[in-house]
């Protein structure tokens, strides 16, 4: 439990803790025991899932920053942390619950901020090598090489490569991931530095199916999964349902000491990601649609009983680039900073369809062999082209008084966001969509140190989030119907929050942090999900849940090592309610006063670590209370408890090997069978009458299944 001094709630995990977790862990799984954080697992290795809840708000309402750069999909706000960095190269992860920095390049951080830093290159030439193997055929190989000083330039660097693969723990298929990290770093003069970080990922993964509550209860621990054998009409065949993203990440943080108390930070960056995502789907040979226009009869092979099985190919492509800069001036006991962030993002995505032969094989060239209609036009379910521009400017002033015991910080950010795009399929209404948003976001924070060990603080912050996903602005179609599979949500407006917090900290033999918080949200945006009929394609749609009030208390307690043992406790009590009746467009559902989805009343973790320099280990147990998955509170997940453990031993230097070690990581020790999270939050699970008597259809939620017992053995050494 690292010492914190900022006038707001913050928790962190250090490099020492990260090094003792499974080498396949992503950022979400590394912070799962921190107060206010729910990070439900999906795969035992912890590679793929980035779903979190932070004080009852999900990952799309949380700002993710890596080395000064936002690392979320700029359209959907979904994080892809495993695409950015290997856990072996993470130096620290810090969570700010309920607020974000004014200088951070974020415009969706209603729930808080997660900031990750990369390790600094070693000053000596050498490296690190590790290999991991375990349950479900999981294996990871990792190699990092340190350059030491390059010539006499004062530049140090490292480059690493990793390969990870495993079999799905339920159903056929699995995951294969290749990843490269590299960094160059130089410091000079009085607090000047420059670095450049590079990351590249290529990943292939067979999708896991998310069952309904009824199907999970009927099938037990595994729920549904993709089919391992193909026959004509079997769109659930696993080779037809994959997510294969590639990504490239470059950032170059620069810091200059200009003298006279002036410092300048600037960080240019580029992130490029592309698919494809592919799914199986059956199309009617006659009577299907291109948008709202009937395509007549398809001229395709391999049709059986008037139906052709296809692979839907979605080669989405996204580029995000920007520049985030801060000029700060320190004069006596006052610090003033001026920040500006500009970002330009593009998103292109379409859905094309290729026939599958009688053996389940797909064409080698998706473009030339895809289905065409109307004399040569490629059949598409949607064809999105979007651009987004972000401008934020912030001014912050920090004043310290009484020898630094009192800190007062006040500032404001002005966020300006423009989104514009089209869906170029026949009948799309609207053909063009988008929005322009402007929001001033003030903050004020006060902190007072009672003495060297005790601190109290209070703050008031604001945040906003523009509607997420391209489907918030234009329709989406499927060739099986002229009716859109998703439409822009009813009354979608930017989400806005006002948050207040009062906290206390004690540092010393034990570190204690307690905070009481109150958040008020307007136009709270949720994502409703349902499977497209007859497919494993999960269709998402943003909905406006109205106002929400979130109140609670979080606490964290850690003891410094005592006889090499360090116990740890964290917990949160949460009371979150929906403040308005839900607007369906034709009526209202009586949701006012009901418990907000995915807001368990109690959650917490108990941990114990041991490290005597040679033998080390840790144990963590997480508890999560019952969670509703609908605004009407007519369906819920049960509470669950999961325990993980680590046991390892470090040796002395053996020849060229520096501190070789062996480590065992155990996930879900008791093999608890549980649902870990909903895939989305639907208005109602069953059909019912609205307040004014209009029939409102229901949509049964689907869920992620918690990862089962697994164990991994790692051997590693520096050299």
pLDDT band, residue 365 (cuts 50/70/90): confident
DSSP 190-239: TTEEEEEEEEEEEEEEEPPP--BHHHHHHHTTS----BSS--TT-TTBGG
Q: Of 242, 458, 446, 423, give the one whose Cα is nearest residue 348.
A: 423
Q: Of 43, 14, 9, 32, give the one whose Cα is nearest residue 620.
A: 32
DSSP 297: B
Q: What is the mean pLDDT of residues 424-434?
A: 92
Q: What is the pLDDT of residue 367?
A: 77
Q: Is the pLDDT of residue 161 over 90?
A: yes
Q: Is the pLDDT of residue 539 over 90?
A: no
Report the Cα 240 to chain-centroid distance in Å: 25
Q: What is the mean pLDDT of residues 178-186?
A: 97
Residue 240 dihedral angles phi and psi, to the nearest 5°:
-95, 0
d(CA 486, CA 541): 6
CATH of 10-718, one of 3.90.209.20, 3.30.420.40, 2.40.170.20, 3.40.50.300: 2.40.170.20
Q: What is the mean pLDDT of residues 693-716?
A: 94
d(CA 342, CA 268): 10
Q: Of 51, 46, 95, 92, give the one whose Cα is nearest residue 665.
A: 46
d(CA 374, CA 107): 43
Residue range 485-517, pLDDT digits in tens: 988 877 789 999 999 999 999 999 999 999 999
Q: Of 386, 438, 449, give the one whose Cα is nearest residue 416.
A: 438
Q: Is the pLDDT of residue 221 over 80?
A: no
Please, are residues 410 and 397 in contact by the beta-carbon 8 Å criterion?
A: yes
Lowest mean pLDDT segment, chosen from 527-541, 563-577, 606-620, 686-700: 527-541
Please, are residues 522 and 547 in contact by the beta-carbon 8 Å criterion?
A: yes
Question: Which H or E run includes 29?
Answer: helix 27-30
d(CA 40, CA 50): 9
Report the Cα 646 to chain-centroid distance in Å: 25
pLDDT band, residue 226 (cuts 50/70/90): confident
Q: What is the pLDDT of residue 232?
A: 94
**3-state secondary structure (DSSP) of residue 320:** strand
Share of the chain above pLDDT 90, in %: 87
133 by Cβ neighbours in 10 Å (0-12 / 13-18 / 19+) ranks as middle
d(CA 411, CA 438): 17
pTM for this entry: 0.94
Q: What is the pLDDT of residue 401?
A: 95
Please, are residues 47 and 82 in contact by the beta-carbon 8 Å criterion?
A: yes
Q: What is the pLDDT of residue 489?
A: 75
pLDDT band, residue 619 (cuts 50/70/90): very high
Q: What is the mean pLDDT of residues 700-716?
A: 95
Q: In the block, which residue shows the tokens 């729920």?
A: 223
Lowest mean pLDDT segment, chosen from 521-530, 532-541, 653-662: 532-541
d(CA 371, CA 301): 10
Give the residue, 441 or 43, on which the prediction is more confident.
Answer: 441
d(CA 409, CA 459): 9
Residue range 78-128, pLDDT digits in tens: 888 888 999 999 999 999 999 999 999 998 999 999 999 999 999 999 999
Q: What is the mean pLDDT of residues 336-348?
A: 97
Cα–Cα distances in Å, from 23 out to 73, 95, 145, 182, 280? 25, 20, 17, 18, 33
d(CA 319, CA 242): 22
The structure tokens listed for 35 are 């107060």
β strands within 356-431, DSSP E: 372-373, 377-378, 380-401, 406-423
- Give the chain's largest Cα–Cα span: 83
Please, which residues have CB within 8 angstroms of residue 449's CB and are 6 or more apart in sequence?
404, 405, 406, 455
The structure tokens listed for 576 are 């979150």
Q: Of 492, 680, 513, give the one whose Cα is nearest residue 3.
A: 513
Q: Is the pLDDT of residue 46 over 80?
A: yes
Q: What is the mean pLDDT of residues 508-529?
A: 94
Neighbours of 520 (CB within 10 A): 15
Provide the residue ranges of all domains of the chain, joining segments of one domain with +.
Answer: 10-718
pLDDT band, residue 434 (cuts 50/70/90): very high
Q: What is the mean pLDDT of residues 682-701?
A: 94
Q: Is the pLDDT of residue 220 over 80?
A: no
pLDDT band, residue 266 (cuts 50/70/90): very high
Q: What is the pLDDT of residue 711?
A: 96
**3-state secondary structure (DSSP) of residue 360:** coil
Share of the chain above pLDDT 70, in %: 100
Residue length of the chain: 719
């Amino acid at each position: 439990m690292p010492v914190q001094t900022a006038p707001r709630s913050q928790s962190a995990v250090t490099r020492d803790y990260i090094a003792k977790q499974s080498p396949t862990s992503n950022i979400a799984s590394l912070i799962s025991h921190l107060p206010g954080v729910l990070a439900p697992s999906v795969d035992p290795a912890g590679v793929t899932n980035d779903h979190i809840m932070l004080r009852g708000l999900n990952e799309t309402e949380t700002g993710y920053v890596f080395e000064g750069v936002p690392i979320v999909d700029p359209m959907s706000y979904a994080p892809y942390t495993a695409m950015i960095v290997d856990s072996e190269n993470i130096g620290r992860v810090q969570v700010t619950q309920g607020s974000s920095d004014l200088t951070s390049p974020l415009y969706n951080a209603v729930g808080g901020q997660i900031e990750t830093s990369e390790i600094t290159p070693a000053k000596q030439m050498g490296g690190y090598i590790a290999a991991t193997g375990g349950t479900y055929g999981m294996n990871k190989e990792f190699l990092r090489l340190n350059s030491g000083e390059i010539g006499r330039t004062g530049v140090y660097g490292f480059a690493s490569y990793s390969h990870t693969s495993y079999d799905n723990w339920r159903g056929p298929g699995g995951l294969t991931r290749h990843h490269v990290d590299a960094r160059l770093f130089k410091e000079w003069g009085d607090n000047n530095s420059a670095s450049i970080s590079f990351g590249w990922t290529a990943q292939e993964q067979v999708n896991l199916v998310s069952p309904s509550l009824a199907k999970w209860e009927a099938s037990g621990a595994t729920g549904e999964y993709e089919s391992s054998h193909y026959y004509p009409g079997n769109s659930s065949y696993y080779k037809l349902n994959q997510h294969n993203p590639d990504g490239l990440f470059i950032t170059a943080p620069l810091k200059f000491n200009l003298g006279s108390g002036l410092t300048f930070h600037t960080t240019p960056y580029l992130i490029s990601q592309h698919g494809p995502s592919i799914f199986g789907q059956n199309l009617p040979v006659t009577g299907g649609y291109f948008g709202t226009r009937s395509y007549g009869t398809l001229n395709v092979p391999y049709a059986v009983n008037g139906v052709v099985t296809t692979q839907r190919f979605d080669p989405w492509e996204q580029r995000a680039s920007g520049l985030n800069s801060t000029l700060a001036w320190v004069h006596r006991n006052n610090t003033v900073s001026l920040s500006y962030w500009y970002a330009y993002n593009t998103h292109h995505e379409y859905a094309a369809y290729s026939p599958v032969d009688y053996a389940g094989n797909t064409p080698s060239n998706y473009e030339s062999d895809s289905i065409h209609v109307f004399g040569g036009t490629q059949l598409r379910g949607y064809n999105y082209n979007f651009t987004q521009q972000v401008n934020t400017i912030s001014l912050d002033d920090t004043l310290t008084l009484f020898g630094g015991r009192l800190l007062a910080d006040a500032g404001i950010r002005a966020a300006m966001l423009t989104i514009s795009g089209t869906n170029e399929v026949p009948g799309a209404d609207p053909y063009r969509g988008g929005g322009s948003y402007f929001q001033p976001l003030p903050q004020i924070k006060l902190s007072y140190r009672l003495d060297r060990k005790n601190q109290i603080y209070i703050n008031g912050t604001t945040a906003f989030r523009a509607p997420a996903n391209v489907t918030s602005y234009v329709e989406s179609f499927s060739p099986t119907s002229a009716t859109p599979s998703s439409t822009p949500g009813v009354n979608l407006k930017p989400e806005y929050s006002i948050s207040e917090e009062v906290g206390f900290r004690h540092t010393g033999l034990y570190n204690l942090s307690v905070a009481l918080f109150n958040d008020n949200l307007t136009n709270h945006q949720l994502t409703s999900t349902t499977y497209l009929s007859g497919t494993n394609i999960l269709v998402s749609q943003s909905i406006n849940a109205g106002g929400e009030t979130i109140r609670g208390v979080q606490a964290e307690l850690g003891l410094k090592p005592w006889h090499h043992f360090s116990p740890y406790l964290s917990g949160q009590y949460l009371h979150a309610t929906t403040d308005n009746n839900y607007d369906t467009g034709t009526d209202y559902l009586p949701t006012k006063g009901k418990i907000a989805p995915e807001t368990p009343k109690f959650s917490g973790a108990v941990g114990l670590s041991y490290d005597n320099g040679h033998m080390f280990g840790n144990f963590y147990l997480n508890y999560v209370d019952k969670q509703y998955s609908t605004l009407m509170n007519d369906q819920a997940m049960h509470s669950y408890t999961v325990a993980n453990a680590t046991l390892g031993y470090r040796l002395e230097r053996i020849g060229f090997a520096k501190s070789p070690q062996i480590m065992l990581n155990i996930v879900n020790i008791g093999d608890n069978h549980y649902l870990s999270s909903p895939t989305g939050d639907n208005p109602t699970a069953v059909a019912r009458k609205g307040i004014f008597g209009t029939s409102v259809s229901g949509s049964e939620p689907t869920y992620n299944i918690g990862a089962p017992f697994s164990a991994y053995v790692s051997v590693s050494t520096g050299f």
